Structure 1
Amino acid sequence: MSSTEHPESRARTARAAAPPAAPPPSEAGESGRAGEPRGAAEGETLGTVTLPGLTLAVRRPRRAAAQEPAGGSGQDTAAGGDTREAALYVHGLGGSSRNWSALMRELAGDVDGEAVDLPGFGDSPPPDDGDYSISAHARAVIRHLDAGDRRPVHLLGNSLGGAVATRVAAVRPDLVRTLTLVSPALPEVPPPRGAWPTAMLAVPGVAALFGRITRDWPAERCAGGVLGLCYGDPARVTPEDFAAAAAEYERRARLPYFWDAMARSTRGLVDAYTLSGQHALWRQAERVLAPTLLIYGVRDQLVAFRMARRASAAFRDSRLLAMPEAGHVAMMEYPEIVAGAVRELIHDAARAARRSDGHPAGAAPRDPGNPER
């Protein structure tokens, strides 16, 4: 499918390629109250972390779901211990921790991963202070990491989450072991045409207007539009994933703060684009010390592929994965390929750390699953 097709035609393709199946049965622990976790998908757990003024929903693969990855394991099964390093996944605007489920499964044997719902998204309620700026989202991630014992982490972010992760890595390098950015929403002027409708949500009153216009639209239509915009090839959306997306959109649209969270987060992203000096996102990208993997989809309608060159120059220790068939959510479209690149980043970072600790150049880190290495 050509990346120049109109988003609505791509949405129709998504709906046709992935006809809605019957909604999934209610999950254990489902709640009808806004902001409470509804339970987790098969193979996952969903819990909450409560901090002053903030409650975050956190999604994790079940321990039994961790599989032996190709080329080695991070789990010392013989000793019964878990030597996997921690990872944290941060979703994009309008998304949720569910966006990372496929990649978390792929990397479950390599990292002890969890995906967070940013305040006001997924199953996380709005923040008490109503602050949805990039800095506020970054503070939420930092506070979550500081409150636990999982730092430093392999930090992964998509779109808005990529901007948030960039700021976290810049201001708190002690928290980030490696950084992976999938189509990060870093300042781009002018933005791609596909991003214009989203950017319009930052204009006061537009989000409420759009909410009224789409109020009676079927959830399948809305979900199809989102998938058609985000996927490089909407035909890759399975019927099950389409049904899950439609059910999630219907649930989220009923929340009283849905459009407010969207509008304020969009406004926060637009505001971040205008910052100058040390708080500018591109300037902060230059301050990132962690080894960085940049993933850009050639068919991305929301973040132009041309930004890959600028990002590669900005992040001092970076590598680029260009994906010709991917759109804005490569980790959902091609999780196996993305997992392979992330795995390589993690292994290379471990080798570099061992060399800096005095090991001979070129020495590979010991594989806990292979005592001879």
Structure 2
Amino acid sequence: MDTGRVSTGTESRPPVTYVPLSDAVLPAVDMSIPPWPGEDRTSGGVRMHIRVTPGPEDAPTAVYVHGLGGSATNWTDLAAQLSSRVPGISVDLPGFGRSEPQPGFDYSIAAHADAVARFIRGLGVGPVHLLGNSMGGAISMNVAADHPDLIRTLTLVSPAVPDLRPRFSRMSDPRLAIAYLPLIGASVRRRLAAVPVEQRVLQLLRLVFADVARVPQSRKDEAAAEFAERARQVWANPALARSTIGLFRSWLVPRSRSMWTLAPRITAPTLVVWGTDDKLVTVRKAPRTARLIPRARLLVLPRTGHVAQMERPATVARAVLGMWEQVDTGNW
């Protein structure tokens, strides 16, 4: 089981509250299990490819939203850890994974959030536990702020809050950071496409993990298969490029519409998780994010990168369960 320590740090004005981990006994993480079976489903007028994690029928549903360039498979291990408590639905956002986008979809954060909200509402399962990583975290913040009736709790793993000073020097290959920028990104993408797929997978893993040695060969093989599948999808590269632009635009809006202004409107109990070695969205944004969301608590994990739910699934699961337990007892 993952036993990564939790940093408690010190913050002031106002202080950040750090989340207690659950004492629940969880199964050992088995990263050899394949992704959960997938299916296309239409809900709320939105068609997406999803992966369903079985769980207790009388429990609330967890919905998992991946980040930029990711897919529903980013949640395989965390969903497995939580499956004894809740059933789960991991979505492929429009244009990602195996979700073919509907004509006219504009790939803005608002459009992605609207698609997720409509899909959740159409499920008819009541308020859900919503979990989002990176761009999926930004999308989930929008859903929670605009549709509070849909959200039971919110978990944000390195959410893509505005970070206008990315630290490219920490990246193993800075080309990955600029491949989807407007104008200059196209030529970089062409050069990256010529790199052998195994090397591209390793570059990506080095970007999002603090320690690539934690990634078993089975997961590397799955990532390589996804790379090959996306290369055959005519919508994949345009969706990634335009979603990247949509994310950057959400960072540059006037303050009145900023994500920092959105955060205080979130009323759901919220867990914010960040890795100290996040190369994409600096952990320096973690305390501010947790302070601005009224009912948020923070978990900072040492020696962890941008995808804590993949790198330390057991620790993140214990934190999520800790939140759920405290919410159930009225102590959050």
Q: TM-score, normalised by structure 1?
A: 0.75
Q: 1:98 aligns with which of 73, 85, 94?
A: 73
Contact 1:285-1:314 within 8 A present in 2 as well: yes
Match of 2:279 in 1: 301
| Counterpart amino acid of residue 228 in structure 1 | R
Identity %: 40
Contact 1:54-1:128 within 8 A present in 2 as well: no
Q: Which structure 2 segments of 5+ residues have no match?
A: 1-31
* C-alpha distance 43-330 of structure 1, shift in aligned 2 (>3 A): closer
Match of 1:15 in 2: none
Counterpart-to-counterpart distance in 1, 2:312 and 2:232: 31
Within 5 Å, which residues of 2 pair with 1:39-58? 42=34, 44-50=36-42, 54-58=46-50
How much has 1:205 moved relative to structure 2? Answer: 3.8
Counterpart-to-counterpart distance in 2, 1:213 and 1:43: 30
How much has 1:197 moved relative to structure 2? Answer: 4.5
| Counterpart amino acid of residue 301 in structure 1 | K
* C-alpha distance 332-111 of structure 1, shift in aligned 2 (>3 A): same
Match of 2:311 in 1: 333
How much has 1:83 moved relative to structure 2? Answer: 2.0
Counterpart-to-counterpart distance in 2, 1:131 and 1:51: 19
Which secondary structure does the structure 2 equivalent of 1:48 belong to? strand
Q: 1:135 aligns with which of 107, 110, 114?
A: 110
Deviations 1:295-331 (A, max 9, x none): 0000110010111111121111111111001100000
Q: 2:52 aligns with which of 33, 51, 60?
A: 60
How much has 1:148 moved relative to structure 2? Answer: 1.3
Q: TM-score, normalised by structure 2?
A: 0.84
Within 5 Å, which residues of 2 pair with 1:247-266? 247-266=225-244
Aligned residues: 297
Within 5 Å, which residues of 2 pair with 1:200-349? 200-349=178-327
* C-alpha distance 51-318 of structure 1, shift in aligned 2 (>3 A): closer
Which secondary structure does the structure 1 equivalent of 2:51 belong to? strand
Counterpart-to-counterpart distance in 2, 1:221 and 1:187: 30
Counterpart-to-counterpart distance in 1, 2:232 and 2:188: 14
How much has 1:211 moved relative to structure 2? Answer: 3.0
**What root-mean-square deviation, in Å, do the aligned CA atoms of Structure 1 and Structure 2 show?**
2.0
Deviations 1:247-292 (A, max 9, x none): 1112112222222111100000000001224431111111100111
Counterpart-to-counterpart distance in 1, 2:87 and 2:142: 22
Counterpart-to-counterpart distance in 1, 2:44 and 2:78: 30
The structure that has the greater radius of gyration is 1
Instruction: Work out whether 1:186 is the aligned partner of 2:164.
Output: no
How much has 1:206 moved relative to structure 2? Answer: 3.5
Match of 2:126 in 1: 151
